Chains A and B, each alone.
Chain A
């Protein structure tokens, strides 16, 4: 299994839709995870941290499934401004100081 793996998408959804992305990881010892958002030609920005079973912030919910080693990001009531690439970040196997980024899942919300 790759250290971090994401479906590249794109996910094309209409405004108001609910969409979910998964990210699988290989380091079973990982304690915390992050979702970052990256707009085209911009730097990544932290969206959510996931330290235990999950985290919720407004329309965004992140969940962690340790048994199956994946984290998910759920976006409810999608907005046009949610269009971006969503990056999953996990500590590298055997080295929790090195954070490894997934290649990202691209989301496109249309009117």
Chain B
């Protein structure tokens, strides 16, 4: 079946603009995660959803970042007033459920470049 789908695959934006990144998880997966990876760095946890709710938003770097998930499926990550340090690959992953025993399935990521 289809894997995790992210769009756009690449996004170049000017500093100060808002961007919206989309993630379409694997059908039936209730858990959805957003991570960020800067060049040559590890994965930085941003936020996760169990269904439509986000129990933990502590990973979001600032209040310019927000995410929502509707219908227990598609999620959008919005970055307002983008800054150059926001440049990174934004990875979305989904799993059957949160908790110990559910590995993550990643999308191809959105490469964001803020100029």
Contacts and interface: CB of A to CB of B under 8 A. Distances in A.
A46 B45 contact: no
A31 B100 CA distance: 6
Interface residues of B, number: 24
B52 interface: no
Interface string A83-94: 000010101100
A71 to B, nearest CB: 14
Contacts of B59: 98
Contact of A98 (B48, B108, B109): B48
Contacts of A89: 104
B56 A101 contact: no
A49 B42 contact: no
Contacts of B100: 30-32, 91, 96
Interface in B100-115: 100-101, 103-109
Nearest to B3: A43
Contact of B103 (A34, A92, A100, A104): A34
B99 A96 contact: yes
Contacts of B45: 92, 98-101
B38 to A, nearest CB: 11
B103 A46 contact: yes
A43 B42 contact: no
Interface of B: 31, 33, 35, 41-43, 45, 48, 50, 55-56, 59, 91, 98-101, 103-109
22 contacts: A30-B100, A31-B100, A32-B101, A34-B104, A43-B106, A43-B107, A44-B104, A45-B106, A89-B104, A95-B56, A96-B98, A96-B99, A97-B50, A97-B98, A97-B99, A98-B45, A98-B48, A99-B45, A100-B45, A101-B42, A101-B43, A103-B42
